[in-house]
Amino acid sequence: MRFLIAGSTGLIGSALVEGLRSEGHEVVRLVRPQTDAPVDGIQWSPPDRLDPELVGGFDGVANFTGRSIGERRWSEREQRLVWESRVDTTRLLAEAIATADPQPRVLVNASAVGYYGDGGDSVLTEGSPKGEGFLAALVAAWEEATRPASAAGIRVAMTRSGIVLSEQGGALGKLLAPFGPRWLSPYRWGLGGPVAGGDSYWSWISFDDEISAILHLLLRSDLEGPVNLTAPDPVTNRVFIRAVGRALRRPTFIPIPGWAVRIAIGGELAEAVVLQSQRAIPERLVADGFRFQDTSIDEAMKDAIG
């Protein structure tokens, strides 16, 4: 089968390309003309319209493009750029494949558990309500932007991912290297600990399970709508940080207060990506027959950074 991948040079997208090719599928990348390292594929430069003729004839499309949510402080300009790179770009892609001939059968679109906002100790399933704040509004609009595709009869699955365990990027990469170089991480020097009391839940998923779940949705599933991509056992950030310490063989006894995180990265960003509690479980994915390979936070963390 033939697949079109947007965001194919990112952490998730590049692994997804390799995963599809390893199963014998043809992959075409949707790339920006100004990509630093030129990549073969269909060139597209949002906010320009995407020609439907360029995206016809694919069996499936995966969209994992978008400006990093946590790389920079959330100024008004940064929030606008994040919004445009995810919401507006997704809408343009969905409109193009909706009028392509022939249409793809499936669109798997990136999403995030940030949809739920601060859920406290409540168990969050795909049926839980939307939370409050910029990130929840962003994710809701991001998912809504896929509507042209679903309205055209394309199966659309939205991957509400938790913290993907990879030190190469994402939330865990930022935690381990908050100031850039990895050697500056307080956790690598045994100078870190639980964040803001440690009671907030952090939903996580191993990198391998993240990619396997996306492949499942593309190739082996009929699921549509939101799907939580999180391990079955979310943990408090106290447990999560202890797993980081054991993987690095460093102590994690020095607590990091919430105010320090707010000063370091900005209050609104800190609340959305660090301090809020999200106890999300993969109810629909498990019911669909997906089997997780990594269900222990300690083992998964050792594989990620040990």
Per-residue model confidence as pLDDT tens digits over 46-100: 889 999 999 999 999 999 999 888 778 889 999 999 999 999 999 999 999 999 9
Q: Which amino acid is at 99?
A: T
Question: How confident is the model over 290-299, as a mean pLDDT?
Answer: 96
pLDDT score, position 182: 63
Confidence category of residue 9, pLDDT binned at 50, 70, 90 = confident
pLDDT for residue 133 is more than 90: yes
- pLDDT band of residue 301 (cuts 50, 70, 90) is very high
pTM: 0.93
Q: Which of 111, 84, 88, 304 is nearest to 207 (CA)?
A: 304
pLDDT at residue 99, as a whole number: 96
The mean per-residue pLDDT over the stretch 263-287 comes to 91
With cut-offs at 50, 70 and 90, classify the pLDDT of residue 156.
Answer: very high
Rounded CA separation 291/305 (Å): 23
Q: Which of 286, 231, 229, 214 is nearest to 18 (CA)?
A: 214
Give me the CATH number covering residue 265. Answer: 3.40.50.720
| Mean of all residue pLDDT scores within the chain | 91
- 256 token code pair: 């990091």
CB contact at 8 A, 74 and 61: no
Residue 179, pLDDT > 60, answer no
Q: What is the pLDDT of residue 180?
A: 59
Structural domain including 10 reads 2-305
Give start and end residues of each alpha helix (H) in the chain: 11-22, 76-83, 89-98, 134-144, 147-151, 170-176, 207-219, 237-248, 258-265, 267-270, 283-287, 297-305
In 3D space, the residue among 89, 78, 8 whose CA is nearest the CA of residue 41 turns out to be 8
Among 163-167, 173-177, 195-199, 277-281, the range scoring the smallest mean pLDDT is 173-177
Number of domains in the chain: 1
